[in-house]
Amino acid sequence: MLPVFRAPVPRVRAAATGAALCLSGAATDLRAEPASLQGHATGAVAQISENPELGFRRGSLVVAPIPFSNPLIGSGLALGAGYLFTTDESSDSSYFGLGGLRSDNGSIGYGLGANVSFGQNRWKIGGILVKADVNYDIYLHVGGATRTIPINQTGKLGSFTLGYGVSENLHLGVDLKYLESTVSAVSGILPAQIAPDARLELFNAGLTLDWDRRDDTLYPTRGTRLFVASSHGMSLRRLKRDYNRSYANFDALMQVGERGVLAARISGCSATDDSPFFYKCSLGMTDAFRGFSATRYLGERSLSAQVEFRQRLGKRLGVVAFAGAGRVKAQAAPQFDGKTHWAGGVGARYRLSRKFPLDFSVDGSRNSDGDNLVYVYVGQRF
């Protein structure tokens, strides 16, 4: 699956470290999703409004190595250089950056990206260019049994997003993507379920709705956010292939005491049968669900719910506890249709910047299949 500069990011819109964070989130779920990025959206609205250092020339230049770990491509290091700035007192943070990453399973990627908010947060423009060579496992569910198939995916991704603020909290956007992707088996031949996606040249056009009423975009403590995306994709090669996908994430946050935050997310996804396997729904793709590899359960429908309690222990340290459950429906694997999969765990946070509330995060989880997984990333999961 060609990583997406998620957000990920990511899976990370990378406030402090620019494209390195974008790449680590992108290679994590290889999807070219705005949703992957949205969990680590740029900006610290509450803080910026009190910060007099506004304007492009008064930004911050950061060069930093960022460790990461996730169930899809393993552990590794992302290195990036980013320039973070704020155009005016009402706009979210903006950045320009470039970076690269390498994981312990041989996955590599590099690219550059930018996201600029201006006009009192009325306009948002972003773009990314990524080239990646990624190794990961795909899970095939046949006759009640599950097989793990190691595959390699190489490709190039270009993405452009434009958002317009209808009001202070509501933004409507256009999302355009171009993707070249080649998938091959590490040994042997590709399974029949994946073979149609071996060589693809795709163009996706979509619309997004972002209704954000949180008090902050990096570390919100209260408010709600609804993010909806719907896209139409087509093959640019001779074989005609059209597909659609839509998903929605709703987040709600409530402050508990002086230093605690209770956060929850409800997510839904729907994709057509002709969607490439890396554009289908799953636990861990568009919903940022922790506990399963993003390719563990793939299907045409998914629904999940998550809850997390965040507690600050001081200016730098914090801890979290989280749990979630979800279902995935797939025509190719009806044996797990209707089955609820759950996961939960605990994590630690370390505040990276005194200027922006950006955390270095380490989470440990256990799922209903009995697997223990570790996540290392920058920012909050949602």
pLDDT value, residue 38:
32
Question: How high is the pLDDT of residue 266?
Answer: 98
Per-residue pLDDT at 357: 87
Q: 269-316: per-residue pLDDT in tens?
A: 999 999 999 999 999 999 999 999 999 999 999 999 999 999 999 999
Phi and psi angles of residue 290, each rounded to the nearest 5 degrees, phi first:
-95, 140
User: Is-contact 248 227, C-beta < 8 A?
Assistant: yes
pTM of the model: 0.84
What pLDDT band is residue 260 in, cutting at 50, 70 and 90? very high
More confident residue, 169 or 22: 169
- Domain 19-378 sits in CATH at 2.40.160.50
352, pLDDT greater than 60? yes
- Residue 238's identity, in one-letter code, is R
Distance (Å, whole) CA 25 – CA 19: 10
∠ CA(155), CA(382), CA(332), 5° rounding?
Answer: 55
Q: What is the pLDDT of residue 105?
A: 94
Cis amide prior to 150 (ω within 30 degrees) = no
Q: Is the pLDDT of residue 156 over 80?
A: yes
The phi and psi torsions of 19 (rounded to 5 degrees) equal -65, -25
Judge whether residue 90 has pLDDT over 90: no
Angstrom distances, CA of residue 68 to CA of 54, 348, 351, 368: 31, 14, 16, 24
* Dihedral sign from CA coordinates of 43, 209, 22, 175: negative
Cα 41–Cα 44–Cα 121 angle in degrees, nearest 5: 75
- With vertex at residue 327, the alpha carbon angle to CA 159 and CA 207, rounded to the nearest 5 degrees, is 25
**What is the C-alpha to C-alpha distance for residues 142 and 254, in angstroms, rounded to an integer?**
43
Q: What does the pLDDT read at residue 36?
A: 34
Predicted local distance difference test score (pLDDT) of residue 1: 36
- Domain ranges in the chain are 19-378
Please state, in angstroms and rounded to a whole number, the distance separating the CA atoms of residues 16 and 143.
Answer: 47
Residue 44 has pLDDT above 60, yes or no: no
Has residue 46 got a pLDDT over 60? no
**Which pLDDT does position 25 carry in this prediction?**
42
pLDDT at 84: 83
d(CA 321, CA 262): 10
Give the count of beta carbons closer than 10 Å to the beta carbon of residue 53. 12
Question: What are 179-210's pLDDT values in tens digits?
Answer: 999 999 998 889 888 999 999 999 999 999 99
pLDDT (0 to 100) of residue 8 = 30
pLDDT band at 54 (very low <50, low <70, confident <90, very high): confident
pLDDT for the residue numbered 112: 94
372 pLDDT band, cuts 50/70/90, is: very high
Q: Which residue has the higher pLDDT, 272 or 331?
A: 272
Res 182: pLDDT: 96
pLDDT digits (tens, 9 = 90+) for 116-152: 999 988 999 999 999 999 999 999 877 677 889 999 9
Please give the pLDDT value at position 141: 79
Instruction: Give the pLDDT score at 276.
Output: 94
Which pLDDT does position 365 carry in this prediction?
A: 97
Interior angle at CA 26, CA 21 and CA 27, nearest 5 = 105
pLDDT at 237: 82
Q: Model confidence at 86, in pLDDT bands (50, 70, 90)?
A: confident
